Amino acid sequence: MLIKIDGKERKLPDFLVVGAARSGTTSMYMYLSQHPGIFMPSVKEPSFFCYAEGLPFDGSFSRAMTLEQYCSLFAPAASGQCIGEVSPMYMVYCNETIKAVKDFYGKGEVEPAIVMILRDPVSRAFSHFTTKHSRGLEPKPFEEAVRDEVVRQRIASGWPASYDYVGLGRYYEKVRLYKENFSRVRVYLYEDLTKRPQWLMKDLFGFIGVDDSFVPSDLGKRFNSAGLPKTPLHAAAYKLLTRYNPAAFLARRLLHERTKTKLLKMLRGRLFSSNGAGLDAETEARLRADFREDILKLQDLIRRDLSGWL
């Protein structure tokens, strides 16, 4: 949509997929990108709105985007295309994001549609940990990384919020805030994506106002799945490809997000095993008890049966 900011008309998204991280947002991005009536930028996760309020930067780029850089992502959109973007950090920093969106869109005069996809918080936490561990970004075992005292110490020391694997899975308050502040909010479950992806995408297309008869290719295919390195050498190779070295950074900037996702998926298939160490039963039981109250409140809020998460 066109929004006038500082006297200049700019293209901003008609809808935002705000998370949750490790819950199928990459697959959703890939499917949305195929629809001829939708424009998705070449950059997935620009995360502009959560950093527009001056938060310390915690993104995938060398620095936070400016408004000009963000709007330039949508410049290629054709007239009549529905514009969207996917940034799971918008759920991590929901308060900052909501304030910034309202500021840029004009305090409720117009607003984007909000889309969420949520995953069993225990599975989500372990998947998030596994992703960081495989990239050499998490030095501790899962059982230790989710201890309250470790999380408190890390956050107090300035570690990014993405290391609070448990906190990111307490969805109730985040969903409540989005539903209170925006009139059009649609919440899906990870199970919808894995068990009935065609229904999910048809419903999503209808929600954002494009032709819902379109069926994306590769429905049900997993993108950006987590795994553990097959050997320390494999871990080092993947770390070299994904961490911030100049050559890898330049290559990532030159690749379209869809191409980059497919390339990394191929590399993960060669470097990673899907049969890594599983979640310790005692830790799982403790986490499920910890999440129980939040899940029950969320269940009432979104009117979906979440008994499978308990």
Partners of 86 in beta bridges: 17
Strand segments (E) across 8-100: 8-11, 15-17, 38-39, 82-86
Task: Give the pLDDT mean for 10-16.
Answer: 97
The full 3-state SS of 218-236, as one line of letters, equals CCCCCCCCCCEECCHHHHH
Query: With bands split at pLDDT 50, 70 and 90, how would you rate the model's confidence at 65?
Result: confident
pLDDT for 7 equals: 87
How far, in Å, are 30, 110, 262 from residue 35 at the CA level? Answer: 10, 24, 18
- Is 246 a residue whose pLDDT tops 80? no
Containing structural domain, residue 245: 2-309
The least confident of 60-69, 262-271, 289-298 is 262-271
Q: For residue 33, how far is the Cα from the chain centroid?
A: 15
Domain of 253, CATH number, reads 3.40.50.300
Cα 200 to Cα 205: distance, rounded to the nearest angstrom? 9
The residue among 224 and 148 whose pLDDT is bigger is: 148
Return the closest-CA partner of residue 87 out of 104, 69, 70, 105: 70
Q: What is the pLDDT of residues 116-148, one digit of tens each?
A: 999 999 999 999 999 999 888 999 999 999 999
Q: Is the pTM of this model over 0.75?
A: yes
Count the alpha carbons within 13 Å of 39 in the hemisphere toward its beta carbon.
Answer: 19
Return the closest-CA partner of residue 16 out of 37, 45, 42: 45
Query: With bands split at pLDDT 50, 70 and 90, how would you rate the model's confidence at 268?
Result: very low
- Is 86 a residue whose pLDDT tops 50? yes
Q: What is the pLDDT of residues 164-189, one digit of tens each?
A: 999 999 999 999 999 999 999 999 99
Q: How many structural domains is the chain composed of?
A: 1
Q: What are phi and psi of 173, to 5 degrees?
A: -65, -35
Calculate the average pLDDT of the chain: 86
